[in-house]
Structure formats: C-alpha cells, structure tokens
Homo-oligomer: A and B are copies of this chain.
Amino acid sequence: MADPLPGNIALQLQLHPERFDPLVALAAWQRSLAASGAEPAAAEAHFIGRVRGVTAAGVPLEALELEHYPGMTEAQISRLAADCAQRHGLRAVRVDHRVGRVLPGEAIVLVAVTADRRGPTQRGGQELLEALKHEAPFWKREWSGGVGAWVEGNTAF
C-alpha cells in the first residue's frame, strides 16, 4: 500500500469498496509514519469529504454510486500525489477514496499530508484535493427516487 514517491515521499493510497472511518485511516497512517522512525512532521493537514443528503438539483439523495478505472485510478493518484509533494515539499501523503455505492453522510474522500511548515502543508493538501477531483478517473452517479443520473463536473469549490 505504501509507494515511495520521488524525493523519499511515502504515499499511502486506499480505495474502499465499503464504508471507511477517516480517523481510523489517519491513525493507521500516523502509526506507520512513527514506525518509520522519522521525527513527527511539524505540520499535518487533513481534509474529509462526505456525501451530501441532496443531489446537485436539490432533491433528496438515496445514494451516490462511484465508478472508477481500476489500475489507472490508483496510478493517476500516485502521479498527482508525487507531483504535488514535489511542488510543495510534502513529506508524506495519504489518500483514501470510496468506490461503489456510498450513502449520505458517509466519507467519500480523505486527503492527508505532512510537511515541515504550515503554509506548504495547507496549500499542498488543497491542491492535491483539487487534482483528485479533476484529474483522477472517478465518476459519480446520483440515485434519487430509484433513478440514477451521472454527475458531469464537480460541486462548487
């Protein structure tokens, strides 16, 4: 699960076909970073995205269905993370993303990064989240009233 990225950055990436708890994922990540023997990073930023209870059109959402491109999705996230880590001097990156059927309120994405200073940490985490949303092959279908509709494009920033 841990791929070395250029410049000794460690990426942990996990796609979850079932519900996941972001804090459990973060705890596992922090334990593995501590086990590596490195000094804890001075700055760490996390972002958790959860499924809204309404569709883009404003009606109640039953579920979100998340399709991906097995193989390419993982490879593309690795490339995006390596790129972002290099640009911002990140030390470690963790990405968790749901696939399959996701219910309102459930976590859909977790992005966590560490670096030596708070500015690059925050900017790097934000940039990686935007990159995932626009450059990693995932497609959402909103299910409402038994009817599914593919989402074209992202929710407002």
Contacts and interface: CB of A to CB of B under 8 A. Distances in A.
A40 B45 contact: no
A52 B50 CA distance: 32
Contact of A26 (B23, B47, B51): B23
User: Which range contains the number of A residues in contact with the other chain?
Assistant: 20 to 34
A116 B50 CA distance: 10
Contact of A157 (B40, B52, B118): B118
B105 A39 contact: yes
Given A23-B27, A122-B126, A156-B117, A50 B46 contact: no
A50 B44 contact: yes
A58 interface: no
Contacts of A118: 47, 49, 129, 157
B53 A117 contact: no
Contacts of A53: 39
Contact of A39 (B43, B104, B129, B157): B104
A149 interface: no
Nearest to A133: B118
B39 A30 contact: no
Contacts of A155: 117
Nearest to A44: B48
Task: List the 9 closest pairs (A to B, CB-CB), nearest first.
Answer: A46-B46, A119-B157, A44-B48, A40-B105, A42-B52, A40-B50, A45-B47, A122-B126, A42-B50
